[in-house]
Chain A
Amino acid sequence: MAGGVVHGLGKRDGAMKFEGLLWWILFLPLGAAVWITLRTLKNPGRSAALSIGAALASFVLAVIFWAANGWTTGQVSVSWWRIGSWTASFDLRVDPLSLLMLLVVTGVGSVIHIYSVGYMRGDPGYARYFACLSLFLFSMLGIVLAGNFLQMFVFWELVGVSSYLLIGHWFERPAAADAAKKAFLTNRLGDLGFLAGILVLQGVAGTLDFGRLEETWPEQVSALGATATVVGLLIFCGVVGKSAQFPLHVWLPDAMEGPTPVSALIHAATMVAAGVYLLCRVFFLFTPEALMVVAWTGGLTALLAASIAVQQNDIKRVLAYSTLSQLGYMVMGVGLGGPAAAMFHLVTHAFFKALLFLGAGSVICALHHEQNIWRMGGLWRRMPVTFWTFLVGTLALAGAWPLSGFFSKDALLAVAWGRSLPLFVLGVGVAVLTSFYMFRLVWVAFGGPARSEAAAHAAESPQGMLWPLRLLGVLSVVAGVIGIQPVLQAILPGLEGSHAASWWGRLMEPFHHAPVPAAAGLAALLIGVGLAWKGYAGGAEDPVPNRWPVLGRWLRDRFYLDELYEGTVIWFHDAWARVVAGVERWVLNGFCLGLVRGGTDLLGQSLRLLQSGNLQTYALVFVVGLALLLWWTLGG
């Protein structure tokens, strides 16, 4: 990177303290990944230590930076490559949004790194796993700190590759290898729109820098007309891919083929949230029409995924569809003009969803990789820590007061209540379904009698896996009231309220500020719990397939959307490929080259006739040729 230029751009503050720390935060995980790949692949313990060390160091440095600077704004820029007066620059952008995300990513990331030590013990690809995990952390931090669209795209793709490598960690399993390929290709479809949007944006705005765009875009919007909406929608394509919104959601459930810590980190807490983060980052770019598309896409995804989750029997698939549904919620929140609420839910969701996945991992490990909930049961007594933390996570997800999920979900519902009644009703409906399928999961997996040998002999996981659960459990409880809302409220629209100083005031805030959504949320929770209790507590099998077989089948088979993709997108490409192969064989190689070959042959054969070996023929040709020559020179 030539010519380092360090300056503190920003709306408020001047230079930041300890700017160099940002480079360390970003590149330490990359250093770990490279070192492990080159030097310590044969040494699992050292690889894990390097990887965890880098993650923790990044977290500590992030905390130090935040402590020294507070919620500041600034940017560190380096020129990357230059053509004429156009520069691709490598920026590290700091503002409250990226600082918050930085703390969440490094914090949750470190916790999951530590958890992986226990989960992946004995795996032959242990060192490779940690190298890929570090690569992922580097890429994710690059997204968080990116200061312009080109850099964002670079790290967007790198995160996609890390995901590919980690989903396909057990690559000898066909299901895992196929899932990795599917994830990458589906993301690429979204990235196609994303890159097209970047090109259009460069063309109409002349810059890709977030700060400069934020300053100049509002003036340009009126002049641009429909182009402004198109730009927003194209950028949204990237979000649809990365955050698994309908119709590019099909890769996320399959991604559960990867190790469970990977599912927790990448496919719940951080990578899939990158789409929502981008939406909040460039919220100013979206016109009201674009936002409407965004909101309805989010809402539809939330409803679709929650419905499918109702009939899934693999513990990780339930959580995967739950993640899809919550991401839909967040996207819907942004679309309704409440990006702050969406970011708030993103942060709380990172805590409790990671907790739920890690808890699921604990169960899976204890039951020797059994993932079907109907072969579990009775675990609440045999694995108490796992059970209680999982229950806390479930309550947080379902929106029980006073856990963090209540506050963030209420913020989203409040935004919907204020802007769009249909989406509010949809949101409450999804909340009912969420509560229903999560408690179905809890009653079936943890409650009732043990339904298999493995479940009967399950033992609690080692402490190395339990402490992350406890820590995330605490965070899931308190994250609603530790002061995240004011930070977000200051930079993005969508969170209202006075945020009283006293604890009780903060806990009761939603009821004062927007009582209807708060009450509706709690009612949804109770209805869901009740229905789940009625259907599943103590039962030995799922009652839905018997009572409503057709509905059950559609839900279980995910509305046949995967098959639809198979039939259309894949088929389309393969059909064209066959046409092309045919043209290659028959037209270009067969006909054209054949013509050349045949023509040359023909020419050769006919000329050969002149070499007849017959003296008379030669004499004739000689005389005829001479005559022609004379006629040409003397005559015509």
Chain B
Amino acid sequence: MGPWSEKEAMTALGWMVLVPLLMAVAVLCVPQSAPRAPRLLTLTALGATLLLALRVFVGFESAPADADGYRMVTEIPGLGAPALGIRCRLGVDGLNVGLLLMGALVGLAAAACAREVQTRTKEFYFLLLLMVGGILGAFASLDLFFFYFFHELALVPTFLMIGLWGRGTDQAAVAYQMTLYLTAGALVALIGLIALYLQVPPELRTFDMPTLSRYFREHPLPPEVQGWIYPLLLFGFGVLVSLWPLHSWAPPGYAAAPTATAMVHAGVLKKFGLYGLLRVGQPWLPEAAADWAWVVAWLALGNLLYAGWAAMQQRDLGRLLGYASVAHMGFVFLGLAAGNAMGMTGAVVVMVAHGLLAAVSFALAGHLYQQTGTLEMGQMGGLARRMPFLGAALTMAALAGCGLPGFANFIGEVTVFLGAWQVPELRVVTVGGLWAALVVGAIYMLRAVRAILHGPPGIAGASGRDIEGGWERWPHAMLLAGLLFLGWLPQVLVGKVEPVAARMVQREPTGVLAPGLEVEGKALTFPAAAAEGRLREVDSVWTGDGGIRQGPGM
């Protein structure tokens, strides 16, 4: 018995995940005599994936939602072990539809920017397809087992890619460090996931995530149990997202990785941990999530300010972008910690926006490395004259990175700030976030632009050429267009995410309600304050009609 008793049809969603994986196998079979074939096959496959992802995204609202709110639910036959309760089921809801589209965009752009790989191209494209297929499957998965499996499938190739095709002198050591660190984090998260699975009574055990969600909603776990499982998930997934202080793998890893790997990892893979916390941690362990919110917030501050300051000191563009991507994750954690619909919606928007931004930044850095042989910013200079397209694109990416309105990052960040400000305990952290976003972010990004693009020409780049012609420019243009589109028409994404976020929060016992929910004359409290017996005054409450009512203090 179960909601999947009938075979569910293969939909666009199913093909979207399968196509890269199947094509990966096909690429392995390409003979040595066709050196350009792997790249062409990869681009075709990922192009098809992008079209399918667009179909899913555009058709999202019109697709019917099942009882748990998922649409386009698909089961991929043949994978899984039904006897153990493992089925490869995929579905979309507001949370992952944006991430899937972003993943497909970044995957295609990454394949297009993998021109630098000239040796053993077959193996490289095989690994790239595994990465993209794996992470798309992880985002779309409705089964706990495949959720984890697909992520590992996407993660392991990074080890090989950095080790074999990486840059710099010690890429093997960096590959080891990064992979071991990330795998350790994934292991800790796995322990948490297994612990959650085991909390369900044996006769009801299943790996199906919607069923588990429903179970945990109806039978919430006791706070003590939540109290030790949640940290496992938080820190395990946190490592994957470079939560401070578990971020040390990121800067050297991204500096040493080949362009395509850095794009897909920083853009897409990194978001998996946050997605896990939003999909599993927050709804299944709500009390623990609320209790740990202040820890998450202060660690987020560490991401924002610490990584931002570290970025200021970097002389290597790859490491600077690595630290910058660590810093941006702070916004998502802050939104998570806010625990209200605005915070969570903003967090998801930041995830999608940052994915596109990281991809285009690393793509441009990759081109610079190819043309000048170095990423030392001190040796560059005046490149905007020789490379106008790269200059324009890098300037736009830098400005998007410091939260300039007009790009999607601003929408996400401002929503996170507005959401976090509603929670009085998080105000100090929010101010720190403002400072990190507006000032520190601008300092290191503009210094980078000044060093690379402006001023008199430097040693490097005397002979480099620009990103020329439509064939080379389209991935960067595509990613920047995505950022601009979401920056000016954010409702396209926000409209999908917001209902899910609101629903997740409604069941929160924290007392900070999603805007739009009635209060019925009760005073709002924050759990800690209530526990102390004091009731706090909340500044304002939004009622359904958009007016305000002052929170009564007692």
Contacts from A to B (Cβ < 8 Å): 1-2, 37, 79-87, 150, 153-155, 157-158, 161, 165, 168, 171-172, 174, 177-178, 180-181, 184-185, 188-189, 191-192, 195-196, 199-200, 202-207, 223, 573-574, 576-581, 583-584, 588-589, 592-593
Kindly report which residue of chain B lies nearest to residue A216, judged by CB atoms.
B548
Nearest Cβ on chain A to B313's Cβ, whole angstroms: 4
Kindly report which residue of chain A lies nearest to residue B249, judged by CB atoms.
A593
| Cα A81 to Cα B443 with chains together (Å) | 29
Kindly report which residue of chain B lies nearest to residue A157, judged by CB atoms.
B405
Decide if A153 touches B313 in the complex (CB within 8 Å).
no
Decide if B310 touches A584 in the complex (CB within 8 Å).
yes
B410, B438, B455, B550: residue with the most chain A Cβ atoms closer than 10 Å:
B438
| Cα A583 to Cα B384 with chains together (Å) | 35
Which of the residues B245, B415, B455 comes within 8 Å of A172, measured between beta carbons? B455
| A196-B431, A206-B547 known; A150-B309 Cβ under 8 A | no
Decide if B490 touches A80 in the complex (CB within 8 Å).
yes
Which of the residues A85, A177, A573 comes within 8 Å of B440, measured between beta carbons? A573
Decide if A150 touches B414 in the complex (CB within 8 Å).
yes
Interface residues of B in 326-357 (CB under 8 A from A): 341-342, 345
A2, A80, A177: residue with the most chain B Cβ atoms closer than 10 Å:
A177
Which of the residues B404, B457, B501, B515 comes within 8 Å of A157, measured between beta carbons? B404
Interface residues of B in 380-406 (CB under 8 A from A): 382, 384-385, 392, 395, 399, 402, 404-406
Kindly report which residue of chain B lies nearest to residue A588, judged by CB atoms.
B248
Which of the residues A84, A177, A195 comes within 8 Å of B455, measured between beta carbons? A177
Q: Nearest 3 CB-CB pairs, A to B?
A: A206-B548, A177-B454, A84-B515
Q: Which residues of A contact B245 (CB under 8 A)?
A: 588, 592
Q: Which residues of B contact A154 (CB under 8 A)?
A: 405-406, 410
Q: Which residues of A contact B411 (CB under 8 A)?
A: 81
Q: Which residues of A contact B395 (CB under 8 A)?
A: 165
Decide if A184 touches B446 in the complex (CB within 8 Å).
yes
Kindly report which residue of chain B lies nearest to residue A190, judged by CB atoms.
B438
Decide if A199 touches B430 in the complex (CB within 8 Å).
yes
Q: Which residues of B contact A580 (CB under 8 A)?
A: 306, 309-310, 313
| Cα A22 to Cα B484 with chains together (Å) | 23
9-residue interface stretch from B65-73, B137-145, B197-205, B538-546? B538-546
Decide if B546 touches A87 in the complex (CB within 8 Å).
yes
Which of the residues B177, B309, B454, B456 comes within 8 Å of A573, measured between beta carbons? B309
Q: Which residues of A contact B457 (CB under 8 A)?
A: 172
Nearest Cβ on chain A to B107's Cβ, whole angstroms: 26
Q: Does B153 contact A (CB under 8 A)?
A: no
| Cα A580 to Cα B436 with chains together (Å) | 14
Decide if B406 touches A158 in the complex (CB within 8 Å).
yes
Decide if B443 touches A82 in the complex (CB within 8 Å).
no
Interface residues of B in 499-513 (CB under 8 A from A): 501-502
Kindly report which residue of chain A lies nearest to residue B497, judged by CB atoms.
A83
A-B contacts besides A80-B491, A83-B498, 17 pairs, CB < 8 Å: A37-B392, A81-B494, A85-B546, A86-B515, A153-B405, A178-B450, A181-B449, A185-B442, A185-B446, A188-B439, A189-B439, A195-B438, A206-B540, A573-B439, A579-B309, A580-B310, A592-B245
Which of the residues A1, A84, A155, A177 comes within 8 Å of B516, measured between beta carbons? A84
Interface residues of B in 248-290 (CB under 8 A from A): 248
User: Number of B interface residues, CB 8 Å?
Assistant: 69
26 A–B contacts from the bound complex (CB under 8 Å): A1-B489, A82-B495, A83-B342, A83-B415, A83-B501, A84-B341, A84-B514, A85-B546, A171-B453, A171-B454, A172-B455, A177-B454, A185-B439, A185-B446, A188-B438, A191-B438, A195-B414, A200-B421, A204-B540, A573-B309, A573-B312, A573-B440, A574-B312, A580-B313, A581-B310, A581-B313
Q: Does B418 contact A (CB under 8 A)?
A: yes
Q: Which residues of A contact B489 (CB under 8 A)?
A: 1
| Cα A589 to Cα B246 with chains together (Å) | 10
| Cα A185 to Cα B312 with chains together (Å) | 14
Nearest Cβ on chain A to B316's Cβ, whole angstroms: 12
A150, A171, A181: residue with the most chain B Cβ atoms closer than 10 Å:
A171
Nearest Cβ on chain A to B469's Cβ, whole angstroms: 15
Nearest Cβ on chain B to A181's Cβ, whole angstroms: 5
Q: Does B171 contact A (CB under 8 A)?
A: no
| A81-B411, A206-B540, A584-B310 known; A172-B454 Cβ under 8 A | yes
| A189-B439, A573-B309, A580-B309 known; A84-B342 Cβ under 8 A | yes
Q: Does B447 contact A (CB under 8 A)?
A: yes
Q: Which residues of A contact B384 (CB under 8 A)?
A: 171
B 156-181 binary contact with A (CB < 8 Å = 1; else 0): 00000000000000000000010000
B430, B456, B548: residue with the most chain A Cβ atoms closer than 10 Å:
B548
Which of the residues B417, B440, B446 comes within 8 Å of A199, measured between beta carbons? B417
| A85-B545, A184-B446, A192-B438 known; A577-B490 Cβ under 8 A | no
Q: Which residues of B contact A578 (CB under 8 A)?
A: 313
Which of the residues B310, B410, B514 comes within 8 Å of A577, measured between beta carbons? B310
| Cα A196 to Cα B429 with chains together (Å) | 12
Decide if A2 touches B248 in the complex (CB within 8 Å).
no
Which of the residues A82, A165, A203 comes within 8 Å of B494, measured between beta carbons? A82
| Cα A180 to Cα B415 with chains together (Å) | 29
Nearest Cβ on chain A to B174's Cβ, whole angstroms: 12
Q: Which residues of A contact B439 (CB under 8 A)?
A: 185, 188-189, 192, 573
| A205-B548, A206-B548 known; A85-B543 Cβ under 8 A | yes
Q: Does B434 contact A (CB under 8 A)?
A: yes
Q: Which residues of A contact B422 (CB under 8 A)?
A: 203
Q: Does B435 contact A (CB under 8 A)?
A: yes
Kindly report which residue of chain A lies nearest to residue B344, judged by CB atoms.
A83
Q: Which residues of B contact A207 (CB under 8 A)?
A: 548
Decide if A85 touches B515 in the complex (CB within 8 Å).
yes
